[in-house]
Amino acid sequence: MTTLRRGECPGVTHPLPTGDGWLARLVPFAPIALADIAALCKASLAHGNGMLEITQRGNLQVRGLSAASAPRFAALVQTLNLPADTRVPLLTSPLLGLDADEVLDGCALFDELRAAVGRCAAIADIHPKVSVIFDGGGALRLDEVAADVRINLISANSVEIRLAGNALTSWPLGYVAPGDLTSTVIAVLSAIAAHGAHARARDLNGAGPLRHTLASVLHPATPRNLTPARNPIGQHRLKDGLLALGLAFPFGQIHARDLLGLARRADHEGASALRPTAGKVCLVVGLTEVALPRFRAFAASSNLITDAADPRRYVTCCAGAPACSAASVSTRDWAPRITQAAHHLLDGSIHMHLSGCAKGCGQPSAAALGFVGPHGVLVQDQAAGLTTGTASVEQFANGIAHLDTLSRARFLGENSADLLARMGAVNVLATLGAQA
């Protein structure tokens, strides 16, 4: 078993050392059966510290493994044959093949692509962060997730391929017939790999040269209307008449005991699987119209997020004290208090992160406000970049309450990101009671 340095991509057989032990990551491409979720929870309790999380990209992470327990955890996971890959991360839209709004069932196409990626020698040394998104065109999508290659099923005759970015920032390469998709994507990945072990799609110098190489299969790229994807928190109709319910874990993490309880209740209510997906969301798949409200009430009473506007969606924290020996602050104790104090501020336009130390495990790069134990305060905006100050966690919590009061008097149409930008990072730091 090999371990990684920070910035590299952890997997199950190559975990990443972090402050609260080794971290193993699974990249699911389909729903995970409830029995396998239960087995993962038990493995997390037996070999890790019991903390599990779903990342912004929809990966499932198991925390707190050790040098001795990580190989045992990996061996156990490999016996489960989970729908998860680590070689070239292949991310699929949350309900691929199940979503009632999909233009066609892309599962067979995805399986063909996945098999071809697995056996392609030309991409054996491709950078481990090169990723592919396969979007079935349903109501739930991965528009905000960046990838090197984006595949969008448009119709039974046409698949769009885009490069290097999220749905808005990526470059259109062109359209191919479904039958040409696998060979085209393999050609794109091979071109990236040919640029060197550190190359990404952005290093291809635009889509022009590739368009020339692939001219015989590409149709011209034309502008498309991007309708907003549906919020994954809430209820979604499936092709078979059943439903999926999207929920989230407070502050991005859940204890394996609680996830085990959730999986058992989902099984009791007739659901079949859980699907970790982008935005730190967990979809419960296969509920009936009758069972869904009951299950949603159970999840809400279990302190899980069932309302898309819940401010806890916009706050993350690391394991903190006492789980992590490096932590100077009990981040998970402070997170509910600070979130409550920031009820108006956390309107979805900004994100806040609490870290027990400067290592910043799990810190989203886009966090507008942050506390870093023992007494660091971070304010980040597009204009000024990162501005730092110092305050105790008590001062930070009081300062957030003060900022929240100010945010209630913002201009008409102004959100919290606009407000912080108008105030400027130095004034925000002063409002938070932090020393610059």
Interface with ligand SF4 (CB under 6 A), residue total: 15
Binder among 243, 318, 352, 432 for ligand SF4 (CB under 6 A): 318
Residues in the chain: 436
Cα separations (Å) of 30 from 107, 316, 354?
10, 25, 31
Sheet (strand 315-317) strand order: 315-317, 352-355, 369-372, 376-381, 385-390
Closer CB to ligand SF4, residue 153 or residue 319?
Answer: 319
Binding of residue 359 to ligand SF4 (CB under 6 A): yes
Q: Which of residues 176-195 bind ligand SF4 (CB under 6 A)?
A: none
Token pair, residue 258, equals: 């609680």
Token pair, residue 184, equals: 């085209």
> Shortest CA distance to 192 belongs to which of 127, 146, 134, 132?
127
Cα separations (Å) of 52 from 62, 63, 283?
5, 6, 15
Closer CB to ligand SF4, residue 254 or residue 361?
Answer: 361
Other residues' Cβ atoms within 10 Å of the Cβ of residue 296: 19
Phi/psi of residue 300, each to 5°? -65, -40
Nearest distance, CB of residue 330 and ligand SF4, angstroms: 10
**What residue number has its CB nearest to ligand SF4?**
19
Binding of residue 327 to ligand SF4 (CB under 6 A): yes
Token pair, residue 126, equals: 């491709």
Binder among 185, 247, 287, 361 for ligand SF4 (CB under 6 A): 361
Binding of residue 335 to ligand SF4 (CB under 6 A): no
Other residues' Cβ atoms within 10 Å of the Cβ of residue 408: 9
Nearest distance, CB of residue 17 and ligand SF4, angstroms: 10
Binding of residue 284 to ligand SF4 (CB under 6 A): no
Give the binding range for ligand SF4 (CB under 6 A) out of 111-119, 227-235, 292-300, 353-361: 353-361
Q: How far apart are CA 39 and CA 41, in angstroms?
A: 5
360 residue type, one letter: G
Binding of residue 37 to ligand SF4 (CB under 6 A): no
Binder among 11, 19, 276, 370 for ligand SF4 (CB under 6 A): 19
Binding of residue 399 to ligand SF4 (CB under 6 A): no
Binding of residue 59 to ligand SF4 (CB under 6 A): no
Q: SS3 of 191, please?
A: helix
Binding of residue 433 to ligand SF4 (CB under 6 A): no
Task: List residues bridging with 28 in a β-sheet.
Answer: 84
- Residues 414/373, Cβ–Cβ less than 8 Å: no
Give the binding range for ligand SF4 (CB under 6 A) out of 16-24, 271-279, 337-345, 412-420: 16-24
> Shortest CA distance to 282 belongs to which of 166, 79, 140?
140
Give the binding range for ligand SF4 (CB under 6 A) out of 204-212, 251-259, 351-359, 402-410: 351-359
Closer CB to ligand SF4, residue 49 or residue 92?
Answer: 49
Binder among 174, 356, 370, 376 for ligand SF4 (CB under 6 A): 356
State the angle between helix axes of 291-301 and 256-268 in degrees (0 to 180), rounded to the nearest 10.
160
Binding of residue 324 to ligand SF4 (CB under 6 A): yes
By CB under 6 A, name the binding residues for ligand SF4: 18-20, 318-320, 324, 326-327, 355-357, 359-361
